[in-house]
Structure 1
Amino acid sequence: MKILKNYLTVLILSIITTFSGFSQTTTYSTEVVDDLDIFYREAGSKNKPALVLLHGYPTSSFMFRNLIEELSTEYHLIAPDYPGYGRSSQPAIKDFDYTFDNMARIVEKFLDQKGIKKYSLYVMDYGAPVGYRIFSKHPERVQALIVQNGNAYEEGLGVPFDALKANWANNNEETRKALEGFHTLGGLEWQYTTGVEDPSKISPDNWYLDYQHIQRPENNEIQLAMFYDYRTNVALYPEWHKKFRKHQPPTLIVWGENDPIFPGIGAVPYKRDLNNVEIHLLNTGHFALEDKGDEIAAYIRQFFKKNNIK
C-alpha cells in the first residue's frame, strides 16, 4: 500500500510538472539527422512557447546552459549543436559540406523531426546566419527573434573581419593561417573576456571546453571552411532585410556593446527594417550570457509578455 501511495505521489507530481510549467531539469539527448547524431539540450514543458537557441562560433549549446535553467518554468527551450561543434557528430570534410546553408538545413530538419513547428529563435553569432536562413524559408513559423550579437548588417562587422575579408578575396594558405589565431587557447579566451566589466567572473571552463573540441582531428580545417563560407552571409544581408520588412517579426536585441567582433553599432540598423524592435546594449562583450544572463532572461520574459507570445 505504501509503495502504491509513493508511486501515485510521483505520478501526480510528474503530471503537475508537465502541465503547470514547474521547473524541469535540462535533458541531454541526440537526434539522428541524415545519419548524424545531433546533440541537444532541452527543458521546459512542451505546452509552453518554444524557444530555439542557436549557438555561435566556436562554442555549442553549452553557452545556453544557464539561460535554459533560468527560463525552463516559462518556455520550452531546445538548443542543438551543429555538426562539427559541441557533442554532435563531426563528419569528415570530404563527406559533409561545412557551410551555413548546410547547417541551416540540418537544424531545420532537426526541428521538423522534433515536431517543433512554431517557435521563437534566439540567434547569437553563427546562430544568426543559420537562423535567418530558416526564417527566410519559413517566416510563418517564427513568432519572434531574440538577437544577441548576431549580425545582419555590414556596419556590424568589426575589425577582426578584416582578416576574414582578406581570406574571402584570396583563399590561400597564408590567409587561412592568419585566421587560426582565433581558435588558439589565447584567441578563445580573448573572445570570452574582451569588453567584459570583470573578466574574473567569466569561467575559464568556457574556452577550455571550446579548445578541447577544436583539437579534434580536422576541426581546424572545419573552422576555416566556415570562416570562408561566412562571405555568403554578407551576400544574403539584402535578402534578409527584405524578409524583415515584409514579415516584421517582433525582435528583441540584447547585445554586448563592447564586442570587438560584432560591435554594438551592429544592433542599431535593425531599426531600419523592423517596426517592432526593442534594443538593449549591455556593458559586456561577445558572450554576453556569461555575465549578463540574468538581465537577458528578464528582458526575454518582459518581451514575450508584451508581445503576447504563447
Structure 2
Amino acid sequence: MTEVRHQYATVSGHRVHYREAGPREAPVLVLLHGFPTSSRMFRSLVPALADRFRIIAPDHIGFGHSDTPAHDAFPYTFDALTDVTEGLLRHLGITRYAIYVQDYGAPIGWRLALRNPDAITAVVTQNGNAYEEGFVKEFWLPVRAYWDNPGPDTEAGVRAALSLDAIRWQYLHGVARPELVDPETWTADHRDVSRPGNDLAQLALFRDYATNPPLYPEVHAYFRESQVPLLAVWGAGDEIFGPEGARAFANDLPDAEIHVIPGGGHFLLESHLDTVAGYMRGFLTGVGQPSA
C-alpha cells in the first residue's frame, strides 16, 4: 500500500494541511484543488503517481483541514491563497515543480507561474480554465452579476452554489456513469462549506474570481514565451468550464497535449481516474520526468 502522509505546516500564522507521498528526492508534482472540495479530490490520484513523484497536495485556506479563519480575519482572495501556497512550498524547500490545476486551483497555479516562471516544469490542467472560451455562459451568468453588483439582489444566485443539491450537481453533471461517483464527495464538501462563517469566506472568493479573467492576457503571454509543456485533460460534459476551454490552450501552446474525455464531468477523477493518471504518466515522462 502506498504511504500517504497527512501533514501540517504553519504558513503566515495559518495551519495548512497537505497530503504528501512519494520519494522525497523525486520530481515534485503539486496538486491544486478546486471549489468546493479539498485535497480529498486527489485521494486516489496520489497513490497512483507516488511511485514516480514527490506529491504535495495542500488544502487551500478555508477548505478541507486547513485553517478556516473568519472572512474578516483573512483576505479571501486568489492572491492571498497563492501567497499561502507559495509560502508552503518555500517552507518545504521546493523550488522546481510541475502543477496539476483544477477549477480554483487554476488561478492559483497561474499566479504561481507568473510570479516565478522558472519554477514550473510542466502543467496539467484538468478542467482548470485560462480562456474566455472556457466559461459556460449559463452557469456563469449569476456569478458575473454578483461580480458586477455584489449585494442582496445578486447574492442569492451565488449562495445557491453552497447548497447540497448544487454541490451534488457539480459532481454528477455530464457524467455518463454517475454510479461511479462516491456520494461522500458531495456530502463531505457540503459539510465543510457549511461550517459557521465559511459561507462568507466562499462568497468573498466568488467576488474575487472577477480578478481572474483580466489576468488571462498575462497568462497567455507566459504560455507563449515559456512554451511550458502542458497537458489538458478535460471532462467533455463539464457545464462550468466547457471543452472549448481545453482546446484554447493550443492558441498559445501549439504543442499542448489536449484530451477531451467523453462521459466525464467537472470532477473527472471521480469517474476516469485511470484515464487521467495514464495520460499524466505518459505526458510527464515524455517531457523529461523519470520513468518508474
TM-score, L = length of structure 2: 0.97
User: What's 1:72 paired with?
Assistant: 50
Counterpart of 1:163? Answer: 142
- Of the structure 1 ranges 218-227 and 56-65, higher mean CA displacement relative to structure 2 is found in 218-227
Is 1:31 equivalent to 2:9 in the alignment? Answer: yes
| AA aligned opposite 1:68 | V
Q: Is the 8 A contact 2:21 2:47 kept in 1?
A: yes
Taking the aligned partners of 2:98 and 2:147, their CA distance within structure 1 comes to 32
Give, in whole Å, the separation in 1 of the partners of 2:261 and 2:191.
29
2:66 to 88, 95, 105: 88
Deviation of the 1:182 alpha carbon: 1.2
Cα deviation digits, residues 81-102 of structure 1 (max 9, x gap): 0110000001111111000000
CA distance in 1, matches of 2:58, 2:35: 13
Q: Report the secondary structure of 2:51's partner residue.
A: coil
Q: Does 1:104 align with 2:117?
A: no
Runs of 5+ in structure 1 lacking a partner? 1-22
Aligned counterpart, 1:246? 225
Residue 204 of structure 2 corresponds to residue 228 of structure 1: no
Paired position in structure 2 for 1:129: 107
Structure 1 residue 253 displacement after superposition: 0.6
In 1: Cα distance, 2:194 partner to 2:231 partner: 35
Q: Percent identity, aligned pairs only? A: 41
- Aligned AA for 1:270? F
1:262 aligns with 2:244: no
Given candidates 215, 218, 222, the residue that maps to 2:197 is 218
Q: 2:92 matched to 1:114?
A: yes
Within 2, Cα distance between the matches of 1:61 and 1:281? 23
Contact 1:143 1:309 in 2 (8 A): no
Structure 1 runs of 4+ off > 2 angstroms? none
Q: Which has the larger radius of gyration?
A: 1
Question: 1:268: how far off?
Answer: 1.0
- Give the conservation status (yes or no) of the 8 Å contact 2:70–2:198: no
State the Cα RMSD in Å: 0.9
Q: Please tell me whether the aligned partners of residues 2 and 50 of structure 2 are also in contact (alpha carbons under 8 angstroms).
A: yes
Higher relative contact order (CA 8 A, sep 6+): 2
The aligned counterpart of 1:60 is: 38
Aligned to 1:7: none
CA distance in 1: counterparts of 2:72 and 2:201, whole angstroms: 11
1:220-239 Cα offsets, whole Å, 9 max, x none, are 11111111100100110111
Shift of 1:309: 2.4
Deviation of 1:177 after TM superposition, in Å, equals 1.4
1:176 maps onto 2:155 in alignment: yes
Equivalent in 168, 189, 196 of residue 175 of structure 2: 196
- Quote the Cα distance in structure 1 between the aligned partners of 2:241 and 2:70: 30
Corresponding letter in the other structure for 2:90: D
Partners of 1:304 and 1:169 in 2: how far apart?
Answer: 40
Give the length in aligned residue pairs: 288
CA contact (8 A) 1:249 1:276 kept: no
Q: 2:275 aligns with which of 284, 289, 295?
A: 295
Deviations 1:47-93 (A, max 9, x none): 11110000000000000010001111111111000110000001111
Structure 2 unmatched runs, 5+: none
1:274 aligns with 2:253: yes
Which is worse superposed, 104-113 or 173-182? 173-182
Q: Which amino acid aligns with 1:193?
A: L
TM-score by length of 1: 0.91
